Amino acid sequence: MPNSFLARLPLSRFEVDRDNLARERPELFDELWADPATRVLPIFQGSALLSSPTSLALLPVDAVPDYDLRVYLGRSTSTTSPEPAGTPIVAVLLQDAGHLAEAEWGNLRSVGSGLSDRDAGIFTEALGILNWHTSHLFSPRTGAPTVPEKGGWVRRDPVSDTEVFPRTDAAIIVGITDADGRILLGSNALWESNRYSLLAGFVEPGESLESAVVREVFEESGIHVVDPVYLGSQPWPFPASLMLGFTATVDPEHGTETTPDGAEILDLRWFSRDELTAALGEIRLPGATSIARAILEEWYGGPILDGQR
């Protein structure tokens, strides 16, 4: 990672060559299943198989239960993982965990920040592409069942003979500060009442990222902001987002009085650094895996010691 902020983003890390040219080989999975070096990452109900609380379990092909779908993730480039660099890795989607049901499984939100660069990258990649598959079982053109192809990176409509490619939903997330350096945090209607985070929202068609920052902040809080500055991005496969991190400041021609929209955002609070520190026993902040946490700690000046690492 080229700067300190990007190094804070757990799910932007990777040590894998996605090996896209191999996806074109029709017999790719036959080749991979015949290769004793191939390792498989099982995904079951949105969780990955773990070998420890901070490591994924990659299995030989003959140790994997029956699967519904498989996707070629690429070849490991890690020189510090148990498997050597160059190891082919395939994600498989399980409907039944079989003999692995009693093993340890981990959710990406919970374990992502503690994984190695390689494991964080392949778990994020696997979850994102498998989530796409489960939502694109039928063609948007004809309604016909689609068929996975090209290593699991395309689905084909057999009726129109057209390809359906993975899509990612762009969403902005903003650290909003005022003239006194305070940061604005909001409580979402879907969360417990004491959880606060940054404001965020999806980019609309025909809209720039910077315009989305200004619009979303005003819609959710009534605050006018200026000078959106891009910080970095992190995939967020819940189910298919790319979170684009920004900072912005309150427009000096407008005030800091907030108006929660009442639908998504129920409460808004400004915090100085001292006020946030004093409130840590009262409020819950974004988890360590999120880009929201990274932006918040960038503003704060270091780790926030709230026990949510």
pLDDT tens, position by position, 24-44? 999 999 999 999 999 999 999
pLDDT greater than 50 at residue 1: no
Average pLDDT over residues 133-154: 97
pLDDT at 228: 98
Mean pLDDT rounded to a whole number for the chain:
96
Average pLDDT over residues 93-112: 95
Predicted confidence band of residue 193 (pLDDT cuts 50, 70, 90): confident
Express each pLDDT in 208-264 by its tens digit.
Answer: 999 999 999 999 999 999 999 999 999 999 999 999 999 999 999 999 999 999 999
Predicted confidence band of residue 306 (pLDDT cuts 50, 70, 90): confident
pLDDT greater than 60 at residue 309: no
For the chain, how are helix, strand and coil distributed in percent, rounded to 5? 25, 30, 40
Predicted confidence band of residue 2 (pLDDT cuts 50, 70, 90): very low
Q: Which residues contact 233 (CB under 8 A, 6 or more apart)?
A: 9, 12, 242, 243, 244, 245, 291
pLDDT greater than 60 at residue 75: yes
Average pLDDT over residues 97-120: 96
pLDDT at 18: 98
Residues above pLDDT 90, as percent of the chain: 94
pLDDT at 49: 98
Taking a C-beta distance cutoff of 8 angstroms, is the pair 55, 116 a contact? yes
Lowest pLDDT segment from 56-60, 94-98, 145-149: 94-98
pLDDT greater than 80 at residue 269: yes
Question: How many beta carbons lie within 10 A of that of residue 36, not counting itself?
Answer: 9
The structural domains of the chain, with segments of one domain joined by +, span 6-135, 169-300
CA 241 – CA 138 distance, rounded (Å): 21
- Architecture per CATH, domain 169-300, reads as Alpha-Beta Complex (3.90)
**Residue 178, CB half-sphere, CA atoms under 13 Å: how many?**
17
β-pairing, 241-250 vs 225-236, is: antiparallel
Lowest pLDDT segment from 122-126, 269-273, 288-292, 304-308: 304-308
In 3D space, the residue among 20, 57, 16, 61 whose CA is nearest the CA of residue 166 turns out to be: 20
pLDDT greater than 60 at residue 136: yes
CA 224 – CA 228 distance, rounded (Å): 11
